Amino acid sequence: SKDGRDLDSGSEATLLGHLEILIRIGEAIAYAHEQGVIHRDIKPGNVMVGRYGEVYLVDWGLAEELDSSGKLSPRGFTGTPAYAAPEMIQRDGYLTNKTDLYLLGSTLCEILTGEPPHKGNSIKEVFLNINKGLNLSFPSWVPTELAKICRRMLDPEPSLRYPTANEVLQTLREYIERHQSLGMLDRVRDHVIRLDQMVHDGESPDRIEDLGQTCRAMLEALRVNLPEMEEISILHNRCTILMVNRM
C-alpha cells in the first residue's frame, strides 16, 4: 500500500532499522505462541511498515492452533517454499512454535543477503534444495555475531534452534545494544583525542571541563554495557588526567 512499505533488504533503511522491524514481528509471534497459535507464513512480503513506523505482520490466513502437546500435523504443504522450514515439507512432519522461528530466520536471512534461504527454478527444485540442507554464505559486511544468530534460527533440526520467540528477541536486542555501544565507543575515542588537543592548545578550562564530563559520562555507561573491554578504563583514566591538567 502507499501508506506502508514492505520489509525489503534493498530499501534505504539501515541494518539496525531492519532488526528493529524484525523484533516487532517477533513480538507479534511471541504473543501468538502464548495463545497456542503459529503463523506459518512469516516472510518480508507479509510485513508492512506504516507511515508512522508502526509494524504489521499480515496474512494470518494460514495460522493454526497447536494441539495440547504443542504440535500441528499439517494436511500437506502450505506456506511459501523459499522461506519454508524443512519440517513443513516432510510427509510425516509436524510443526511447532520452532517452525515460526525458522521463518523469522528466513526473513533475517533475506535482510542480510538480499535473498530467501531456499532457491530454485520450480517448487520441486526448491523442495529438493530444502531437503539438501542450507549452505549459507553471508556478504563480508555482515557481522559474524549476526550471521551466527541467523544460522541458529535456520538450523534444520528444530531442537537446535532458539527455544522460544522471546529468546530470539532477547538475543537480537542484546546484539543491537552492543552494536550501539561500540558506536558510542568510537565517538568517545574521538572526544578524548579532541580533549587532548584542547589541553595542548590551552583552550578554556570550562570548555575542557564540559567535554571531559561528557566523555566520563559516556564511559561510565560503556563500563556497564561492555564490561570486558579494558580500553574503556584506559580512556577513562586518560580523560581524568587531561581534566586535572586543564589549568
Catalytic residues: 41
Contacts of 123 (CB under 8 A, 6+ apart): 81
Q: Yes or no: say if 172 and 20 are a contact pair by the CB < 8 Å rule.
A: no
Strand partners, 237: none
Q: Yes or no: say if 29 and 39 are a contact pair by the CB < 8 Å rule.
A: yes
Q: What distance in Å separates the CA atoms of residue 151 and residue 155, rounded to the nearest whole number?
A: 6
CB atoms within 10 A of CB 92: 6
Q: Which residue has the cell 579532541?
A: 194
Q: Yes or no: say if 209 and 175 are a contact pair by the CB < 8 Å rule.
A: no
- What's the order of all strands across the beta sheet hosting 47-50? 4-6, 47-50, 55-57
Q: Yes or no: say if 143 and 39 are a contact pair by the CB < 8 Å rule.
A: no
CB atoms within 10 A of CB 64: 15
Q: Yes or no: say if 103 and 127 are a contact pair by the CB < 8 Å rule.
A: no
